[in-house]
Structure 1
């Protein structure tokens, strides 16, 4: 298979092998962690049964990090990215174990939400460090290949962790021990990620020129750094446009994700049967993963004839088709087809966006670029939660809502295509004085 051949090509690089190992172990732990939270927030008979309730839960978990994230993201251009992976996973393992204890003891949803927020926030920071460090362990000519494989196989690892979590959840007796079991095992996996990060050299992932300034000065310069980063991306053109299309695409996908959760719980199964709703959501998520997996195969093939920006436009078209399928009927087979198309469209576009940002941004700005990436990523999902609460019924299915998403997908594809045609798909040259 082409996927195995590409992976074998990348694994000859020892640095890539070690970075890839960190991602797989870490994201497997993420999957188990997310199952633990999902059973608490979304598939507990007493919690989050309406569109507004689900939207509120996502807002609680993501909005604060959208605000706090900028104060840590630019540090990727100053701190050892290996150190970020090592200490970030260390803190996550401790928090995960603490959450397991609190859930076992029956602590309130408030303190659990705060600790879950911090854990998820660190995770987004770690994913930025993994992306910013990738060009240091893979030759430039293999970046598209790496971006096709690494994030998607990371997503596969997340699903594997989630499946293990579901099995553990089902095999554990009902009660507090069931709530805590997934998080306790996730903590052990994150300890494994700490070990994997320790095998990477402290300077191996960059930044190339580490800035030695006091932490207080770093914090006060955050807004200035982000402004410089955003200005640089806008002047370069292609990476700025890629981040915008990523954020809007994430926004539209977020509405679909919440719809899928509500459909699983309130339409395709009995709303009072939380276990059946969780099983249905796991099934549809697994089906969507088939779309993610097909992006691994199709993206490198597409790049033989299409540039990354043209593939993004094609993926937006695929996502539009998924909405047309959802408009037709809320029956399970058609929802499954839409889920596959959705997975292909969002993952294929993400691979191309990652490649454009890594390729067209110099290393001095790469950390800030991915910090802005994560800000926009989370803010888009918060916005999606608000829109989903406004347009979706509690069953999750709305013909008018999905029709509106079709229009938005088409507008986004048209805007992005025209912007890149005007640049010829190439970044603008940024004057030397505009760099730090």
Structure 2
């Protein structure tokens, strides 16, 4: 109810409404495009899907965020942000349309990857522009509220876009035509995002003309130095550094299991044709194809994220922040081998919920530890490093999984490796919690601050 009340307050600002509309359309298009990329790489009969192909797709989706993120502001301080939103979405609409044509033409996979990389690279500038524009559409008193609700709404829009793509893709016969249709749906949403940006005044979102940005080379050097300073500051904040390390390991485990589930859905639970009921897995008497099972896994994992958001404040009050990370990782260490090793759909779907809850619960605690223990002057730089770690760990996990997984995705070795990593995080965090208690640390409740997303 508090969230609804805050949103009603923010929606009174016409500039915020228009900016939020651009965000919702842009990020829903992102969700559609990501599902389209996964569907084409993993489920198209024309593609000989392998863990290496999946790892490549994940790198394309995530590495632009990791590598361009800290430097996006350098250019945004030189461009009108409304123009970034307008031309960024227009460019992505054109690139997505080109990608759809490449899908129809059945071009080599590397050329498809190049087109997809172009779309996702532009995305970093659009998202950074949306965040940088917020102070221009709400007053200072409500800026924290807007910074909390706006990215969260965008995440929900991306999830909804992914769900819409699944609804479009699942009933259609497998093949390049249905994949291209989903990509074109994303292109249409990008175009709507560009049209929504036209409703915002050209100079409304800044940057202010009175502020002259430093030279480009100087700005890049300053950002690099700032990141190095952030690393040094983390070295002086052992609790934050250890929580970030634990989150990186848990994100690695999540990424490795994600690739495994993709391969199971593609080969172990579906023969890859999807044309007959015989090719599908039955759950409770209902025949489900691999694409449907993947959609269920994503949905159930998302439910785990939501439950973690509800449960974590209560749990942290009883276990402490480090203690809750330990509990989450210990729970994953116990449940992953028990549920995954049979390599059956229902237990693996249950594991998706458990892993989603554990990963998001630990992330919320880690966010709060970083917020409370890092000096405000360094907080932005540390969170930039955090985002880079979060994405690089996921991509690195996909690479390791590509080396370890067989073609059908059934790998006891990978499952046991992930179990050992979860157990190691649990032991380390229990040790940190014990040491923190002896030294009078503030391992307390969740504080409000930076919004947490999957």
TM-score by length of 2: 0.75
Cα–Cα, structure 1 residues 343 and 50, in superposed 2: closer, same or farther, change >3 Å? same
Map 1:148-167 → 2, pairs under 5 A: 154-167=154-167
1:112 corresponds to: 112
Q: CA deviation at 1:384?
A: 0.5
Aligned residues: 419
2-side partners of 1:190 and 1:33: how far apart?
A: 10
2-side partners of 1:109 and 1:37: how far apart?
A: 11
Map 1:277-292 → 2, pairs under 5 A: 277-292=290-305
Whether 1:403 and 2:402 are equivalent positions in the alignment is no
1:8 corresponds to: 4
2-side partners of 1:96 and 1:310: how far apart?
A: 45
Q: Does 17-26 or 211-220 show the bigger shift?
A: 17-26
2:358 corresponds to: 345
2:219 corresponds to: 218
2:449 corresponds to: none
Q: CA deviation at 1:338?
A: 0.5
For 1:42, what is the secondary structure of its paired residue? Answer: helix
Instruction: Please list the CA deviations of residues 272-314 of structure 1 after superposition, one character each: whole Å capped at 9, or x if unmatched.
Output: 4499322221122222222122123223433454544443333
Q: Does 217-226 or 38-47 show the bigger shift?
A: 217-226
Match for residue 404 of structure 2 among 388, 391, 407: 391
Cα–Cα, structure 1 residues 196 and 262, in superposed 2: closer, same or farther, change >3 Å? same
Contact kept in structure 2, 1:48 and 1:54, CA below 8 Å: no
Cα–Cα, structure 1 residues 191 and 418, in superposed 2: closer, same or farther, change >3 Å? farther
Map 1:279-428 → 2, pairs under 5 A: 279-361=292-374, 364-419=377-432, 421-422=435-436, 424-425=441-442
Q: CA deviation at 1:260?
A: 0.7
1:32 corresponds to: 32
Q: Does 109-118 or 75-84 show the bigger shift?
A: 75-84
Cα–Cα, structure 1 residues 129 and 232, in superposed 2: closer, same or farther, change >3 Å? farther
2:283 corresponds to: none
Cα–Cα, structure 1 residues 60 and 214, in superposed 2: closer, same or farther, change >3 Å? same
1-side partners of 2:251 and 2:100: how far apart?
A: 30
2-side partners of 1:162 and 1:182: how far apart?
A: 10
Contact kept in structure 2, 1:243 and 1:353, CA below 8 Å: yes
Q: CA deviation at 1:204?
A: 8.0
Contact kept in structure 1, 2:62 and 2:391, CA below 8 Å: yes
1:253 corresponds to: 254
1:434 corresponds to: none
Q: CA deviation at 1:55?
A: 3.0
Which runs of no fewer than 5 residues in structure 1 stay unpaired? 428-436
For 2:381, what is the secondary structure of its paired residue? Answer: helix
Q: Does 169-178 or 228-237 show the bigger shift?
A: 169-178
Instruction: Please list the CA deviations of residues 14-44 of structure 1 after superposition, one character each: whole Å capped at 9, or x if unmatched.
Output: 1897576555433321221012212221111
Contact kept in structure 2, 1:62 and 1:117, CA below 8 Å: no
Contact kept in structure 2, 1:315 and 1:345, CA below 8 Å: yes
Instruction: Please list the CA deviations of residues 359-395 of structure 1 after superposition, one character each: whole Å capped at 9, or x if unmatched.
Output: 5555654443333223222221221122212332222
2-side partners of 1:269 and 1:302: how far apart?
A: 39
Q: CA deviation at 1:417?
A: 4.3
Contact kept in structure 1, 2:323 and 2:429, CA below 8 Å: no
1-side partners of 2:204 and 2:99: how far apart?
A: 32
Contact kept in structure 1, 2:341 and 2:415, CA below 8 Å: no
Q: CA deviation at 1:397?
A: 2.5
Q: CA deviation at 1:257?
A: 0.2
Q: Does 404-413 or 90-99 show the bigger shift?
A: 90-99
Structure possessing the higher radius of gyration over alpha carbons: 2
For 1:218, what is the secondary structure of its paired residue? Answer: helix
Q: CA deviation at 1:73?
A: 4.8
RMSD over aligned Cα, in angstroms?
Answer: 4.2
